[in-house]
Amino acid sequence: MIQNTVWDVSIILMGSVAAIFIGVAAGAPVALENYGPAIASAYRMRVWLFILAAVVLVAVNWRTLGELPYVSASAQGTPGIQRVDAVGEQWSWTISPTHFTVGETAEFHVTSKDVNHDFALYGPDMRIVTQVQAMPGYTNILRYTFKKPGIYRVLCLEYCGIGHTEMMSDIKVAAAKSVTGKTP
C-alpha cells in the first residue's frame, strides 16, 4: 500500500536529517574555558535538560501512542472485535451492524462513495467520542469500545454539500448483561 511506502521513505529521510544534525553538533567544539563559570555550568545544565526532555518525549509517546483509535490494515481481524462497515455518501450514512452492548469493541471500516465526509460518533450525552475521515477510494479503520448504554449518533464533520447537516445515523448500545444473573 502506498501509505506504507510513504511511511518508510519518511522514516529514512527523517533519520538521515537527524543523523546529519547529530554529526554536526557532535563535531562542533565548545570552548567552555572561554566563558565564565556561570555560562559553563548553564551549558552543562542545558545538556541535562535536553536529555530529560528527550526521555519525557519518548516515555509519553510510548505510553500514549498505543491508545490511538486508528488501526493499520495489518492489525485487523482481532478476535472479539466486531467489524462494522460505515459508508458515507451525499447525504447519508450506511452503517452495519448498528446494535451493540456496553463493553463491546466496534471496528469501524469507514469509507465514502463520493466526496470526503467525516465519520463522527457522539455518545448518548451528544459529546463526541471518536471520529475519522471518510474518504473515497480508501478505508480508514477506527476502533471504539462502547462505555455507556443509549443511543449514539453518527454525524458528518466535513462539509460535503447542501445536505451535509442531514447526515445522521443512530447506533443502539444496550446495557451489559450481568454474568452472574444478579442485578448489580
Identity of the residue, 102 or 157, whose beta carbon is nearer to Cu ion in the bound complex: 157
Say how far apart CA 184 and CA 177 lie, in whole Å: 10
Residues that bind Cu ion (CB under 5 A): 117, 156, 160, 164
Tell me how many degrees the CA angle 77-83-86 measures, rounded to the nearest 5. 135
Strand 128-134, strand 81-89: pairing: unpaired
Residue 117: CB minimum distance to Cu ion, A: 5
Strand 140-145, strand 128-134: pairing: unpaired
Identity of the residue, 100 or 122, whose beta carbon is nearer to Cu ion in the bound complex: 122
Per the CB < 8 A criterion, the answer to whether 158 and 118 are in contact is yes
Cα 159–chain centre separation? 21
Residue 86: CB minimum distance to Cu ion, A: 14
Residue 167: CB minimum distance to Cu ion, A: 5
Identity of the residue, 160 or 173, whose beta carbon is nearer to Cu ion in the bound complex: 160
Per the CB < 8 A criterion, the answer to whether 74 and 135 are in contact is no
Residue 158: CB minimum distance to Cu ion, A: 5
Within the chain, strands assigned E span 81-89, 92-96, 99-101, 105-112, 117-122, 128-134, 140-145, 150-156, 168-174
Identity of the residue, 83 or 164, whose beta carbon is nearer to Cu ion in the bound complex: 164
Identity of the residue, 117 or 143, whose beta carbon is nearer to Cu ion in the bound complex: 117
Identity of the residue, 71 or 135, whose beta carbon is nearer to Cu ion in the bound complex: 135
Residue 170: CB minimum distance to Cu ion, A: 17
Place of cell 536529517: 17
Residue 126: CB minimum distance to Cu ion, A: 17
